[in-house]
């Protein structure tokens, strides 16, 4: 069994988000079938009643605060680590791999979240994972931090090596493993929920942008707007024959679509496809000529062409012949 906890909402403490947007984010996270949604107290107070059907975890500063929130069954708390209440997840920060040896002091806790471990992949991580599970007998959630750009790799390896619980956040908000990457990686490498429609990731992206005002890089793994664009002749040709050739998964799975871009790296087959797409009749033998004109224009522009520019170049060619 794999259980994923999403902590995006906890990381949105500082944003003045409207309650309906926060609720919407909960709903979308549930659609993405995350198992638990974590919220901080300020976000919870702002959000109000949470969407039904979800399992929520409230982040508190002291185990004694739990009594104030009877509507919650699960809490996470960073404290002295000796509260053995099953409803409390004890969060322990691990900054150095040598600290793994001292985890034995928490061996009797029922729920533990290990946060940090950002450079574990630089070490013998498989042995370290084994040592973690040996030192703690309860349920262990791994919450890798992304300081070394390896959090997704750590989360995936934890699962592939027998771990069951991981923590992530959308777009890696707050410096954790990006949820969207973890979901796709587990789908491909572990066949975890292989039929789940993840097009909701696009809606989550829009919400995240609206709440934080941050832009998402257009080539961001899994959710970037342009990740299924294709320009290079070799790729256009390959994808036309079989998308599997140059795509690790179908764009529709994540609510995206392929776009044919025309530019410096296009080949003649891309030119032919584009003409067909725009309803332009290109007489045989002119493909190469049009390609050269397109490439020159693209180099001058230092970018690819939009459809209008392509049409203009096509018309110019047709006037000349």
Partner 1 sequence: MKSQKFIIDTTLRDGEQSPGLAFNKEQKVLLAGMLDQIGVYQIEAGIPALGKYEKNTLCEIMAQKKKSLISVWNRANLNDIKHSMECNPDIIHISIPVSYVQIYKKLNKNKTWIFKEMAKCVCAAKEQGYEVTLGFEDASRADVSFLMPLALQAKELGVKRIRFADTVGVLTPTRCYELVNEFVKYTGVEVEIHTHNDLGMAVPNAVQAAKAGADYIDTTILGIGERAGNCDFQKLIYAAERIFNLNISHYTSLTVEERARRIIEYKKL
Q: Which chain residues interact with partner 1 by CB under 8 A?
A: 119, 121-122, 125-126, 148-150, 152-154, 156-157, 160-161, 178, 181, 184-185, 188-189, 217-222, 224, 226-232, 234-235, 237-238, 241-242, 244-248, 259, 261, 263-265, 292, 295-296, 298-304
> Tokens at residue 319, please?
């006037």
Q: C-alpha distances in angstroms, 274 versus 254, 270, 283?
A: 25, 6, 14
Nearer to partner 1, 230 or 275 (CB): 230
Name the minimum Å distance from CB 232 to partner 1.
5
d(CA 166, CA 144): 8
**Contact status, residue 145 vs residue 176, Cβ threshold 8 Å:** yes
d(CA 62, CA 112): 15
Nearer to partner 1, 63 or 144 (CB): 144
Name the minimum Å distance from CB 225 to partner 1.
9
Nearer to partner 1, 227 or 318 (CB): 227
DSSP 106-173: GTT-SEEEEEE-TTGGGS-HHHHHHHHHHH--SEEEEEEB-TTS-HHHHHHHHHHTT--EEEEBGGGT
Name the minimum Å distance from CB 252 to partner 1.
15
Nearer to partner 1, 17 or 168 (CB): 168
Nearer to partner 1, 89 or 154 (CB): 154
Name the minimum Å distance from CB 44 to partner 1.
29
Name the minimum Å distance from CB 168 to partner 1.
11
CA 118 to chain centre: 17
SS (H, E, C) 153-167: HHHHHHHHCCCCEEE
Name the minimum Å distance from CB 276 to partner 1.
19
Instruction: Give me the residues paired with residue 229 across strands.
Output: 259
DSSP state of 67: G
Nearer to partner 1, 2 or 160 (CB): 160
């Amino acid at each position: 069994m794999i259980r994923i906890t999403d902590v995006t909402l906890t990381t949105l403490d500082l944003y003045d988000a409207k309650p309906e947007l926060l609720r919407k984010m909960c709903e979308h996270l549930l659609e993405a079938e995350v198992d638990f949604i974590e919220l901080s107290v300020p976000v919870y107070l702002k959000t109000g009643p949470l969407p039904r059907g979800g399992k929520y975890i409230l982040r508190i500063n002291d185990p004694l605060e739990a009594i104030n929130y009877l509507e919650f069954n699960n809490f996470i708390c960073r404290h002295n680590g000796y509260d053995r209440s099953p409803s409390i997840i004890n969060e322990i920060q691990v900054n150095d791999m040598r600290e793994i040896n001292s985890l034995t002091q928490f061996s009797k806790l029922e729920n533990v979240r290990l946060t940090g471990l950002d450079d574990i992949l630089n070490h013998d991580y498989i042995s370290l994972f084994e040592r973690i599970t040996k030192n703690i007998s309860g349920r262990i959630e791994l919450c890798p931090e992304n300081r070394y750009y390896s959090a997704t790799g750590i989360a995936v390896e934890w699962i592939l090596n027998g771990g069951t619980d991981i923590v992530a956040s959308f777009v890696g908000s707050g410096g954790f493993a990006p949820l969207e990457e973890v979901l796709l990686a587990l789908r491909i490498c572990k066949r975890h929920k292989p039929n789940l429609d993840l097009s909701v990731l696009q809606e989550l992206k829009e919400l995240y942008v609206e709440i934080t005002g941050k832009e998402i890089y257009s080539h961001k793994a899994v959710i970037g707007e342009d990740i299924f664009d294709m320009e290079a002749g070799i790729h256009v040709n390959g994808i036309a024959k079989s998308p599997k050739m140059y795509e690790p998964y179908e764009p529709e799975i994540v609510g995206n679509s392929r776009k044919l871009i025309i530019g410096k790296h296009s080949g003649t087959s891309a030119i032919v496809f584009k003409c067909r797409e725009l309803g332009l009749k290109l007489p045989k033998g002119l493909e190469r000529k049009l390609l050269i004109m397109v490439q020159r224009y693209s180099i001058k522009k230092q970018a690819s062409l939009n459809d209008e520019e392509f049409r203009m170049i096509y018309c110019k060619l047709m006037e000349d012949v």
